[in-house]
Structure 1
Amino acid sequence: MKILVHKRAQVPVEVISSNGEETVLESTTCTAALWELAGRFPHELIGWCEEAYSKQLDLTKWNDIFHHNLIMASYAVDSTFLPESIGYVEQLPFANLNREVLYGTWRMSRDVGGIYGKVLLRFKPLMNQVKDFEYLLNSVAKLGQQNSLFCYSAPGLVKEPPAKPVIHTASRQQLFSFVYQHYNSVWLLILTWCIYKYERKFPVTFLKGVKTDKYFQKKVDLTEIPISSCRFTEVSEAIDVVIPTMGRREHLYNVLKDFSEQTLLPRKLIIVEQNPDLNSVSDLDYLKKEKWPFEILHHFIHRTGACNARNLALAETAADWVFFSDDDQRFEKDLLESIFREIKKFGVDGLTTSYLQAGEKKNFTVPKQWGTFGAGNSVVLGAFARKVKFSPAFEHGYGEDMDYGMQLRNLGCDIIYHPGLTIHHLKAETGGFREKTNMDWEMEHIKPKPSPTLMAYALKYYSKEQLMGFRTSLLLKYYNKQSVKNPFRYNREMIESWKKSKRWAKKLLLLERTFKQRAV
C-alpha cells in the first residue's frame, strides 16, 4: 500500500508505505503524483490523505474496506468536492449520502481515500489531462461506477470520523464542467435554470467555461481485472424465500417447481396468499398435496397489499439470507448456486438480478452499484433484511421497493445489480400481490403530480436540491404527454398538481410514523 500525503490537494508531501520502504516522488503536483504511484505500483492499493489527517488513519480497517480490486473509497473528514447543487441533476441515492455508514457513492473527497493502481490506470487515457486532483477523483468514481467500479464513502478509513458538516471546494465553473462531462447535456440546462430560480444567480460565465470532452456513457474496460473478495472467507448458503401472491395459482406453482429443482435448495419458502373475499378459501391446495424438498410456511389472509404481505413473511425468516421473489417468474436450476458464487466473489450484502420481460433487452452489461432495489428479484443478508420493514405509506401504490432499498443503504448495506444472473419476469396480466385500489387523490379534478407515493419517497430521501431538480425535470418531461400546450397554463396546473401531491405525501408519511410507533 502506498498513501500519498498531500497539502490541500495541491502539493505532495510524502508517501507512506505499508512495508516501511521509502518512496521518492518525481512529480510535483498531486494529480501527477497519483498517476506516478499507480504506474510504479500497479498491483498495490494507492491511497491519498490530507496532511492534517495522516495521524488519524485507521489502517487496520483498510483491508476490510478495499476487500477486492474494483473498490474505490474515500471519506470527507471536513471537505468534499462538489456542492449540494449537484442534486439538481442527480436524483439517485449516490448524491445524498449517509456519512455515518459505509455508503455507495461516487462523491469522493480529497481528505482520505484509495483505489488500486491497475484500476486507476484504466482511466488514464481518458483523464490524463485533468489537472485538478479532486476533479479527477470524482470523475474516476462517476464514470467508474457505471463500469463495475464500486465506490463508497467509508468512515472506517479514519479513527473517530467527525459528524460535523463538510465544506465544498469546487468552483461554480467546475460544477458546470462536471455536469457537462458526466451527464446528458440537457441536464446542464436544468442546472442553469435551478441555480437561477432557487439561488437567484444567472451563471452565464460558467456555461462558457465548460470542458468540451465528454465522459458521459464512455466505456472503461475493467473486465480483465480479477475480483475475489476477501470479505467472506466462507459464505453461508442458508436462504429463506419471501413470496407474496394473489390469484396466480398456476404461475406460483411454476415458481415453486423452479425452486424445487435448484442445485442449491432454499431452506424455507414463506408464501403469503391474499384474497379480499372474507368467505374465500385458499386456492393453493398443491402446497400440501404435493411433496416439496423444503419447508413451506403458508399464510392465507384477507388483507391485500404487498407491503403488509412481505412484512408478514419477513417476520418468519431466520436464515442468513433472504430471497425476495415474485409469483410470476421463471429461472434456471443453478440460479441460487450462481447467486452465492457472485455474493462471495464481490463480498456484497445485497444483490439484485436481471429481471427482464419478454422482448426486453439489458440496458447494462456489467455488474454495478444499483440506484434502486428489486423486491421480486433480490437477495439480501438476513441481518439487514430483518432490521427494516416495507412502509405502509406505499401500500397499493408503487415505490415500496425503492424505499426498502434506501432503508438498507442507510444501514450500510450496499446493493449491486448483476446482469449475468437472470430471472425471467412473466408479468402475468391477472392476479399478483397488488389489488387495484382507487386512491382518494384519483378522484380530484386536478390530479397530483407526481404520484403521492413517489413524492413521499422524494420527501424522505431527497436533499432540497434533489427535490427541486426532480420538480424541474418532471415539468419538462410531462409537457409532451398532456393536452395543455399553453406553457403558462401548464405551469400553473403543474404547480397545483405538485402541491396536491405534497399534501397527500405528507399524509402517507404520517401513516408511516404511526406504524413505526405502534411497532416499538
Structure 2
Amino acid sequence: MIIIYHNKKTVQRVDGAVDLNNMKYFSIGMVLFNLAKKHPDEILVWCDLKWESYLNIEGIKSIIHHKKMMVSYNPYVSNLINNNLGYVDNGSILRSNKEVTFLSWQMSDAVGVVYAEVLNAIGSQVINRKEDFGYLLNSLAKRAMPMGLFCYSDPRLFNTKLVDIPCDESSNYILFKFVKQHLGIKWIFVLFASFLIYERKIKLFPFFFSFFFKSRKWDKKVLDIIQVSSNNKVSNSDKIDVIIPTIGRAKYLKDVLYDLREQSHLPNNVIIVEQNPQEGSVSELSFIYDEKWPFKIEHIFTHQAGACNARNIALSKVTSEWVFLNDDDNKLEKNVIKKAFKNILQYGVEAIVTDYPQTFEINSYDRVHQTTIFGSGNSIIKSIYLKKLQFNSKYEFGYGEDFDFGMQLRNSGVDVIYFPEPTIIHLKAPMGGFRIKSTFLWSNDAVVPKPSPTVMLNNLVYRTQQQLLGYKTVYFYTLFKVNIFQNPIWFLKKTNAHWNASVNWATMLKNND
C-alpha cells in the first residue's frame, strides 16, 4: 500500500515506497498515475495532510475488496460540484447518505483509495493529469462508473466520525465547466435557464466560460481487462427462498413454478401470496397441492389486494439467507439462481438485479455496474436486511415502490448491482398490472395531480431540491413540445396547477406516518 499525503495542490509526502519523496511538490494527479505505472499491483491511497491522524489505514484492504473499485469520503458539508448540478442531473443519486457505504461518483480529495491497476487501465482517458485533483477524481468517476467502476463514499476511511464540516461552496464556474464536459452542451443552456427561472440569477460569465472546454468521452472497453475477485465474504450458505405475489394468473404462475423446478440450483422455499379482493372468492391454485415439488411451497391466500402488502407478507416468511424477489409472469432459464450466486460471490455484493427485458426487447446494458434502479421481480438480496425493510404502503397501487425499496437498501449500506447475465424474461402477461381499479384520495379532485403523487413522493424523499426543479423543467418541456403551437401562458397555468396538486398530495403522503 502506498499513501500520498497532499495539501490539495501538491504532494507533500509519499509513504510505502522507496525513492519516491523526490515527487514532493509535484501535481497530485501526476504522482498518482506515475506511482500506478511503477507499482501496478499496489493499492494507492491519497489523503489531505489535515486528515492524516484520522486515516483508517488498517481498514483499507477490507473496504476496497476487489480491484475494480474507487472509494473516497468527503467530510465537508458540500461537494466540489455544488448542488446546482441537480438542475441538469436527475439520473444520479445526489442526496447521499454519508453515514454508510453509498454509491457515488462524487469523489473527494480529502481521502480515497484505488488500485493501481484501475489507473493504468484508464490512463488513456485522463489527458490532463495536472488539473485540480478533486476535479480530476470527479471527472474520472463520473465517466467510469457506468462502465463498471464501482465508486463509493465510505466513512470507514476515517477512524473517527466526521460529517458535514463547514466549507466554502464550490464555484459555479466549476459547475458549468463540469456540465459542459460530462453532460453535453445542451445542458449548459438548461442549467443557465434553471438559474434564471428558479433563482432569478443570470450566470452569464460561468456560462460563457464553459465554452472553452471540450466534452470528455470514455472508451467503454478500457476497464474490461480488470478481473474481479472479491475478498468480501457475503454468504454463509447458498440457501435461497423465492417470493411471488400473484393475482389472477394461475396459468403463468404454474409455468414459473415449473421453471423453478428445473433450476440447477433449487430454492429452499417458494412463498406465494395469492390475492383476490372479491368477497367469497377462493384460491385458483389447487395445482400447488396436486403436484410434487422439489422445494417447500408456502401458499398464503388473502382478500387484501396490493403488491406492496403481498410482498411484505411473503418477505416476513423468509427463512433462508437469501431471497429471490420473483414475479408471477417471469420466464426463467435453468441456471438463473446458479449464475446469480456466482455473481454475488465473485463481486462480494449483497443485492443484485438481473437483466429483465420483455420478449421483444434487446439487452442494451451489457456491463456489470452499480445501478439506481431496483426490480421487485428480478432481484436477489441478503435476507438479513428484511428485518428492517418493507415495501412502503404509501405506494400501493401507484408507482415508485421498487425505487423506494432500492433506496431503503442503499440507505442501509447495501449497494444494488446490475448484472447483464442471467436474464429473466418479463412476459407482461394479460391481466397484468392493475387488475383492480383503485381509488386514491385524490381520485375525485377537480384538478388532477400530475405527475402521479407517488412518483412525486419519490422525488421529495430521495432527490435534492434542485433535482426536483430540474425534473419539473424536463416534465414541462416534454408536455409542451407535444403541441408547440398551444398558448404558452395557458399551458403554464394549467400544468402548474396539476404540478402543485401533485406536490401537495405527495407532501401529505410523506408526512402521513
State the TM-score, normalizing by the size of structure 2: 0.95
What is the total number of aligned residue pairs between the two structures?
A: 509
C-alpha distance in structure 1 between counterparts of 2:89 and 2:6, whole Å? 30
Matched, 1:330 2:331: yes
Partner in structure 1 of residue 497 of structure 2: 496
Indicate conservation of the 8 Å contact 1:2/1:46, yes or no.
yes
Distance change (3 Å), C-alpha of 1:262 and 1:120:
same
Residue 182 of structure 1: CA displacement? 1.5
Residue 22 of structure 1: CA displacement? 5.3
RMSD: 1.9
Match of 2:442, SS state, is: helix
Partner in structure 2 of residue 366 of structure 1: 367
Partner in structure 1 of residue 21 of structure 2: 24
Matches within 5 A, 1:80-99: 80-92=79-91, 94-99=93-98
Of 35, 39, 42 in structure 1, the residue corresponding to residue 40 of structure 2 is: 42
Residue 325 of structure 1: CA displacement? 0.6
Partner in structure 1 of residue 3 of structure 2: 3
Partner in structure 2 of residue 292 of structure 1: 293
Greater shift after overlay, 221-230 or 27-36? 27-36
Indicate conservation of the 8 Å contact 2:448/2:498, yes or no.
yes
Q: Once the two structures are superposed, what CA deviation does each residue of 1:266-292 show, in whole Å capped at 9, x if it has no partner?
A: 111111100011111100001111111
Residue 152 of structure 1: CA displacement? 0.3
C-alpha distance in structure 2 between counterparts of 1:314 and 1:427, whole Å? 23
Q: Once the two structures are superposed, what CA deviation does each residue of 1:319-348 show, in whole Å capped at 9, x if it has no partner?
A: 111111110011111110100000011111
Partner in structure 2 of residue 439 of structure 1: 440
Indicate conservation of the 8 Å contact 2:125/2:218, yes or no.
no
Match of 1:401, SS state, is: helix
Paired AA for residue 375 in structure 2: G
Distance change (3 Å), C-alpha of 1:431 and 1:12:
closer
Partner in structure 1 of residue 74 of structure 2: 76
Distance change (3 Å), C-alpha of 1:189 and 1:138:
same
C-alpha distance in structure 2 between counterparts of 1:251 and 1:417, whole Å? 26
Q: Once the two structures are superposed, what CA deviation does each residue of 1:41-99 show, in whole Å capped at 9, x if it has no partner?
A: 22211111000111211122111110000110100123631111112222245311000
Indicate conservation of the 8 Å contact 2:476/2:495, yes or no.
yes
C-alpha distance in structure 2 between counterparts of 1:304 and 1:371, whole Å? 28
Indicate conservation of the 8 Å contact 1:143/1:182, yes or no.
yes
Residue 434 of structure 1: CA displacement? 5.6
Of 58, 61, 75 in structure 2, the residue corresponding to residue 60 of structure 1 is: 58
Indicate conservation of the 8 Å contact 2:241/2:322, yes or no.
yes
C-alpha distance in structure 1 between counterparts of 2:433 and 2:288, whole Å? 18
Residue 438 of structure 1: CA displacement? 4.0
Residue 161 of structure 1: CA displacement? 2.3
Indicate conservation of the 8 Å contact 1:452/1:502, yes or no.
yes
Partner in structure 1 of residue 135 of structure 2: 135
C-alpha distance in structure 2 between counterparts of 1:22 and 1:321, whole Å? 49
Matched, 1:312 2:313: yes
Paired AA for residue 171 in structure 1: S
Partner in structure 2 of residue 403 of structure 1: 404
Q: Percent of pairs identical after alignment?
A: 37
Unaligned stretches of 5+ in structure 2? Answer: none
Residue 481 of structure 1: CA displacement? 3.6
Indicate conservation of the 8 Å contact 2:234/2:350, yes or no.
no
Distance change (3 Å), C-alpha of 1:433 and 1:474:
closer
C-alpha distance in structure 2 between counterparts of 1:299 and 1:133, whole Å? 57
Paired AA for residue 132 in structure 1: D
Match of 1:418, SS state, is: strand
Matched, 1:152 2:152: yes
Indicate conservation of the 8 Å contact 1:264/1:336, yes or no.
yes
State the TM-score, normalizing by the size of structure 1: 0.94
Partner in structure 2 of residue 115 of structure 1: 114
Deviation >4 Å, runs of 4+: 431-434
Indicate conservation of the 8 Å contact 2:44/2:113, yes or no.
yes
Match of 1:282, SS state, is: coil
Match of 2:58, SS state, is: coil
Q: Once the two structures are superposed, what CA deviation does each residue of 1:140-177 show, in whole Å capped at 9, x if it has no partner?
A: 11111111000000000011121234535642111111
Residue 196 of structure 1: CA displacement? 2.2
Paired AA for residue 56 in structure 2: D
Indicate conservation of the 8 Å contact 2:122/2:223, yes or no.
no
Indicate conservation of the 8 Å contact 1:244/1:272, yes or no.
yes
Paired AA for residue 385 in structure 2: F
Residue 428 of structure 1: CA displacement? 0.7
C-alpha distance in structure 2 between counterparts of 1:85 and 1:296, whole Å? 51
C-alpha distance in structure 2 between counterparts of 1:484 and 1:161, whole Å? 56
Greater shift after overlay, 382-391 or 124-133? 124-133
Q: Once the two structures are superposed, what CA deviation does each residue of 1:102-129 show, in whole Å capped at 9, x if it has no partner?
A: 0001011110001111212333222222
Match of 1:146, SS state, is: helix
C-alpha distance in structure 1 between counterparts of 2:387 and 2:89, whole Å? 30
Distance change (3 Å), C-alpha of 1:290 and 1:484:
farther
Unaligned stretches of 5+ in structure 1? Answer: 514-520
Distance change (3 Å), C-alpha of 1:230 and 1:396:
same
Partner in structure 2 of residue 162 of structure 1: 162
C-alpha distance in structure 2 between counterparts of 1:462 and 1:446, whole Å? 25
Greater shift after overlay, 44-53 or 175-184? 175-184
Indicate conservation of the 8 Å contact 1:248/1:432, yes or no.
no
